[in-house]
Structure 1
Amino acid sequence: MSSVSIFHLEMLSLEQLNAKSDPKELTIVKAQKQQFEFNKFLYQFVGSAWEWTDKLSWTDVQWQEYSEAADLHLYVGYFQGSPAGYFELQQQSEGNVEIMYFGLGTRFIGLGMGGYLLTQAIEQAWSLVGTKRVSVHTCSLDHPSALKNYTARGFKLYKTELEQ
């Protein structure tokens, strides 16, 4: 069995952001009406290529409790009318906002959208009242450019863990 590296990253001020401003025709929309089925769809749509499995066994009740919580914010990137990717922001204690999930569907990878989508995630996280820190984690199972995208936008690596 091979091990997986987990990378924990943080940003301590909006000034650390190295924004990517070219949207590549990507339109970001905040989901105003929470619907756990949509979060579940997006999780599978993006995560199936990267072995996102931690929520696959969840019941609808678990999905609803997570997705429709007041501290979770869902944003979807659309390209030519189709969902291309998404991000979820979770407001946590002590002013931390975690980018819980972030990514593009496989058909949209390599089109130059990832940097802009991540810029929007970071800007939206910092716009939430009380934000003092934005965090995210990724792992060695993720897209080979994921960690590079996070650090290119200004995140700093503060911890690496190894899981079997």
Structure 2
Amino acid sequence: MAYSRHIVPYQSAWPERFAELAGYLGRFLPEGSRVHHIGSTSIPGMPAKDIVDVHVEHQSGGLESVTAALEQAGYRHHGDQGIPGREVFKPEAAAAVAALPRHHLYASEAGAEELRRHLAFRDYLRAHPDRADWLAEQKLRADGASGSKDEYIERKADAYATIAREARGVEKPR
């Protein structure tokens, strides 16, 4: 199946790009923070948008210090953007951040539901390559039938919901 502008085939460089991002962020983050590679780019073989998703896990009550650290690193805090427990950070004009691989950056307190959901989804697909293959097929179908990014997101939503239920143990794999 052909790829469109929404997603690209798996790139073996994605883990290296994440490592570069984690190394950069680690120079600024408070002790005890953890940097996680999430999203489709973290799953071997998965087609994805060519954007590495990064989730910073911080200790309870540590959002203020993480925000200050990320601002020092060249990011600006954009609130939770409608998803409680998941804070969004976007690069500012800092040259160091501009030189990094393209990425999305989130932060959550350790144990936050959104962080647990991201990690469970990633870990489930890494442990179940057959389900990762199924999701990849669904993404390619959605991508091929979609004219816009929003339509692509809508078309793949049911497949993502299925995998999320499986990852939580609510539904058995098909």
- Fold-level match, TM-score > 0.5? no
Which has the larger share of helix? Answer: 2
Is the strand fraction higher in 1 or 2? 1
TM-score by length of 2: 0.25
Q: Taking CA–CA contacts closer than 8 Å with sequence separation of 6 or more, which of the two structures ends up with the larger relative contact order?
A: 1
Q: TM-score, normalised to structure 1's length? A: 0.26
